[in-house]
Structure 1
């Protein structure tokens, strides 16, 4: 069985991946506290709004960001169904209709205008980051997060989305090839060790 190699980076996958295993059977949440969430957003701002546009993350905005992440994870779980969802929150997912409504409402906070760039001659035209239509940085942030999730789930990569089932892992990943079972090599190693241990234990008990 093959493990995944280097994964293309999707902003929506990065957002959903802020819930992750701690290596010891527990789960870490990078967005649990406002300070941690602000640090994560600053690190990933280039994929959403740009660092200069990030608003101050007060308790209200922090709750909105976390709720959007929760909606995204609920829809990721729906996307991998009937396969297993991430073990981090499979038992307490937001209802899919509520997740869709929250995601679409957030995206609508900032209707954007596409912009074409064609500076090089005879270079090809390119779509650059759409222009915001609101002066509210909070709305821009929430809408950008929501659009990233919408674009991911509406794209072809959704068909290859899986929840890693290696021991202790709670990540989602996009399969890079047909035989990939785990999100990364270390997860594949742990899974093989666990299977070997289970076979040995079953043999001993038999």
Structure 2
């Protein structure tokens, strides 16, 4: 899964209801530590309340851009009514990507490999937000964007990449839930 899809999927639906993996600074700390290398942060990273608030704000901006990208399909039901405006979201994502730009570099440990590193000195908060914003920009500008969909299953709030022309759901479980709900609607009296 791409970092961007993983980032917007920190809001998800589970049996207990909607869950936000970034509900507080501790949630961001755990999530970022699991992805430390991709986010250019130390494995012992700890989120401050200010960075947490900025990260959640960036996530909402990326989700607003995802909502625009899947149109005319409906956006995710998780936050469709609470998303910031498109122009504001675009400006925020672009500003965050510029604040801590990343650059491709060639690494050569036995064989050549592409690595992405900070292009300018930046603190850990700027690197984290810059990595998230840059990945969102690269994803939304890539051909992958045309495969982006909103899961249509009841209660699901995820975005996913369509792998098959007839795919409507993010997972088999969501497909089963949608078919069961349709069967129930068709057969209830």
- Given the alignment, which residue of 17, 30, 35 partners 2:21? 30
Q: CA deviation at 1:53?
A: 7.8
1:77: which partner in 2?
A: 67
- Given the alignment, which residue of 133, 136, 149 partners 2:120? 133
- Counterpart Cα distance in 2 of 1:19 and 1:78: 18
1:49: which partner in 2?
A: 40
TM-score, reference length from structure 1: 0.86
Alignment RMSD = 1.6
- Counterpart Cα distance in 1 of 2:60 and 2:9: 11
Q: What SS is found at the alignment partner of 2:95?
A: helix
- Given the alignment, which residue of 41, 47, 52 partners 1:62? 52
Q: What SS is found at the alignment partner of 1:108?
A: helix
Q: CA deviation at 1:41?
A: 1.0
Residues 48 and 148 of structure 1 are in contact (CA less than 8 Å); yes or no, is this contact kept in structure 2?
Answer: no
Count of matched residue pairs = 189
2:146: which partner in 1?
A: 159
Residues 113 and 133 of structure 1 are in contact (CA less than 8 Å); yes or no, is this contact kept in structure 2?
Answer: no
- Counterpart Cα distance in 1 of 2:174 and 2:114: 37
Residue-by-residue CA offset, 1:53-93 (whole Å, 9 max, x unaligned): 84x31111111111010101000000000001100011121
Residues 116 and 127 of structure 1 are in contact (CA less than 8 Å); yes or no, is this contact kept in structure 2?
Answer: yes
Residue-by-residue CA offset, 1:77-118 (whole Å, 9 max, x unaligned): 000000011000111211010001111111111133321235
1:169: which partner in 2?
A: 156
After superposition, the Cα gap between the structure-2 partners of 1:42 and 1:163, relative to the gap in structure 1 and judged at 3 Å, is same
After superposition, the Cα gap between the structure-2 partners of 1:110 and 1:176, relative to the gap in structure 1 and judged at 3 Å, is same
Q: What SS is found at the alignment partner of 1:27?
A: strand
After superposition, the Cα gap between the structure-2 partners of 1:154 and 1:46, relative to the gap in structure 1 and judged at 3 Å, is same
Structure 2 gap ranges (5+): none
